[in-house]
Amino acid sequence: MTPAGPRKVAAYLAALAGLSLTLAACSSGGGGDPAAYPEDDIEVIVPFSAGGPTDTVTRMVAEPMSEELGVQLVVQNVDGAGGTVGAGQAAAADPDGYTVLMHHIGMSTAPALYDDLAYDPVTDFKPVGLVTEVPMTIIARSDFEPETFEDFVTYVQENADTVTMAHAGDGSASNLCGLLLMDALGVQVTAVPYDGTGPAMTELVGGQVDFMCDQTTNTTGQITAGEVKAYAVTTPERIEALPDLPTTAEGGQPDVEVSVWHGLYVPAETPDEVVSTLTDALQVALADQAVIDQMADLGTAPVSEDQATPEAHAALLEEQIATWGEIIGAGQGG
């Protein structure tokens, strides 16, 4: 190897300078000034498949947020491993406000479930605000034998070795609800993981899997159309969208109570000014009558304005990480 001549060294230094300029431009989202944000379309990562509940909620708010921000929020489904693949991709994105993550309760369960998690939900993200909290329902293929929730409990207890349960991967809401249910019933059934409960619903309707616990944002349509059999809702009270559906407590299983909160995140180094712009747009979207109506039809509602803030979101996330860490840790220990 010969020493580089002065001309080569100069060219190399110029190339390096050019490279660092390019990197700086990339990391600031194409050189965007936070005060001028947004100047370009925003990618919203949904860490589950298209057509599922997280995707549905995201698309509901993306439209009015796009109108408010004057750029398009473009949904990208990056599914796999219970939502951790998409969340990992969002954590590693440029912190410029052009990549946003919509995630749910799984953001708080993943640290206790995955030893090799590629991100820390608290230190690798800034919360933008909470979005909604969604009840879950226990549903089955339309020709599943049990008729009532009480029948379902007995049937699953007596046939645990043959019954199959769909879920969206470890740490997903459907997995969590299924675990609570199995714990309450004192049995284990065969779990069938999917990349989201959108595809799981297709297989449930097709009769390839027996039952699933999933958000009303994915199940209300199929329940009302009679495409699936519905047994119970997992909230303390019945819900308006499905008034005939008893609660799990009414069916003798009060411990199977869970609802699924959702929130928006950006990578941790994103400027606060950008986060505020997104929070403001989120609040406008959540006050939009069309969004309120669509959510009501699917058994849910936007969170209140004080919950759609980074502060309320951060507080809930930390509280939920502690809560689920204890529950999951205790389960794994025992």
Nearer to ligand ASP, 175 or 253 (CB): 175
Minimal distance, residue 167 CB to ligand ASP, in Å: 6
The residue number whose beta carbon is nearest to ligand ASP equals 52
- The site that binds ligand ASP (CB under 6 A) totals a number of residues, namely 16
Nearer to ligand ASP, 54 or 99 (CB): 54
Minimal distance, residue 75 CB to ligand ASP, in Å: 12
Nearer to ligand ASP, 80 or 198 (CB): 198
Q: Based on the shown chain and the rule CB under 6 A, indicate whether residue 231 belongs to the binding site for ligand ASP.
A: no
Minimal distance, residue 179 CB to ligand ASP, in Å: 12
Binding mask 202-221 for ligand ASP (x = CB under 6 A): ------------xx------
Side-chain-facing half-sphere of 139: CA atoms under 13 Å: 34
Give helix 216-224 / helix 197-205 axis angle, nearest 10°: 20
Minimal distance, residue 104 CB to ligand ASP, in Å: 6
Binding mask 41-80 for ligand ASP (x = CB under 6 A): -------xx--xxxx-------------------------
Name the segment binding ligand ASP (CB under 6 A); options: 19-27, 123-131, 172-180, 290-298: 172-180
Q: Based on the shown chain and the rule CB under 6 A, indicate whether residue 178 belongs to the binding site for ligand ASP.
A: no
Spatial contact of 150 and 217, defined as CB atoms under 8 Å apart: no
Name the segment binding ligand ASP (CB under 6 A); options: 84-92, 195-203, 276-284, 313-321: 195-203
Reduced to 3 states, what is the DSSP secondary structure of residue 305?
A: coil
Q: Based on the shown chain and the rule CB under 6 A, indicate whether residue 168 belongs to the binding site for ligand ASP.
A: yes
Minimal distance, residue 14 CB to ligand ASP, in Å: 49
Give residue for tokens 């509901």.
60
In angstroms, how far is the first alpha carbon of the chain from the final one? 62
Indicate the length of the chain as a whole number: 334
- Among positions 124-143, residues that touch ligand ASP (CB under 6 A) are none
What CA–CA distance (Å, rounded) separates 331 from 303?
A: 31
Candidates 45, 117, 128, 173: give the one binding ligand ASP (CB under 6 A): 173
Q: Is the Cα torsion angle 158, 162, 168, 172 positive or negative in sign? A: positive
Q: In the numeric block, which tokens belong to residue 65? A: 């947020």
Minimal distance, residue 76 CB to ligand ASP, in Å: 14
Spatial contact of 239 and 133, defined as CB atoms under 8 Å apart: no
- H helices present in the chain, as ranges: 6-27, 53-69, 84-91, 106-113, 149-158, 173-185, 197-205, 216-224, 272-286, 289-297, 310-333
Minimal distance, residue 323 CB to ligand ASP, in Å: 17
Spatial contact of 266 and 281, defined as CB atoms under 8 Å apart: no
Name the segment binding ligand ASP (CB under 6 A); options: 89-97, 194-202, 269-277, 325-333: 194-202
Q: In the numeric block, which tokens belong to residue 72? A: 């398009």
Nearer to ligand ASP, 105 or 281 (CB): 105
What CA–CA distance (Å, rounded) separates 326 from 323?
A: 5
DSSP track, 182-234:
HHHHT---EEEE-SSHHHHHHHHHTTSS-EEEEEHHHHHHHHHTTSEEEEEES
Residues that bind ligand ASP (CB under 6 A): 48-49, 52-55, 106, 168, 172-174, 196-198, 214-215
